[in-house]
């Protein structure tokens, strides 16, 4: 059964968002035990999926620079996966990025996240060369999507 979900912006210190980011970090450390940190840039804007009054998923959007935006921290609680929430979060982040002048969106995931790779590819993201800090991470997989 699909749950009614509202996607809304939330401040970085929102308790529901803080919990989601902590859960996302725990999952990353479980999948990548050698990883030491995954800081969140304070300039990141977050959208939160709310179902039944609870924060159940989130996605971050970095500031758009030279027409390029970047998606960060897409996460949905395990008990709410398989309901299309992640896809709605991506669509909402894309709309916000377009509104902010992005013509391209990029993102990075990891080789130990096959469900993320499948989701991004089905949403129109295509593999691209690793960028920035991801160029030095052997498990990093980067994707790009034109919003034009």
Q: Report the 10 Å Cβ neighbour count for 70.
A: 23
Predicted TM-score of the model (pTM) = 0.94
Q: Which three-class secondary structure string do you get for 50-85?
A: EECCEEEEEEEECCCECCEEEEEEEEECHHHCCCCH
Q: What is the CATH number of domain 6-146?
A: 3.40.630.30
The residue behind tokens 């080789």 is 111
Residues in Cβ contact with 1 at an 8 Å cutoff, skipping those fewer than 6 apart: none
Q: Tens digit of pLDDT for each residue in 18-61?
A: 999 999 999 999 999 888 777 889 999 999 999 999 999 999 99
Kindly list the domain boundaries of the chain, sorted by start residue: 6-146
Q: Quick one: pLDDT at residue 3? A: 66
């Amino acid at each position: 059964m699909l749950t009614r979900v509202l996607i809304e912006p939330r401040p970085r210190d929102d308790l529901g968002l803080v919990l989601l980011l902590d859960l996302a970090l725990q999952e990353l450390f479980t999948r990548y035990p050698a990883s030491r940190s995954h800081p969140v840039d304070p300039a990141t804007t977050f959208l939160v999926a709310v179902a039944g009054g609870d924060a159940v998923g989130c996605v971050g959007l970095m500031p758009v620079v030279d027409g390029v935006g970047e998606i960060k921290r897409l996460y949905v609680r395990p008990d709410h996966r398989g309901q299309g929430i992640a896809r709605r979060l991506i669509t909402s982040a894309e709309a916000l990025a377009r509104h902010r002048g992005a013509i391209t969106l990029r993102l990075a995931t990891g080789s130990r996240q096959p469900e993320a790779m499948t989701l991004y590819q089905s949403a129109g993201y295509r593999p691209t060369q690793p960028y920035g800090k991801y160029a030095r991470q052997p498990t990093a997989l980067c994707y790009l999507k034109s919003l034009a």
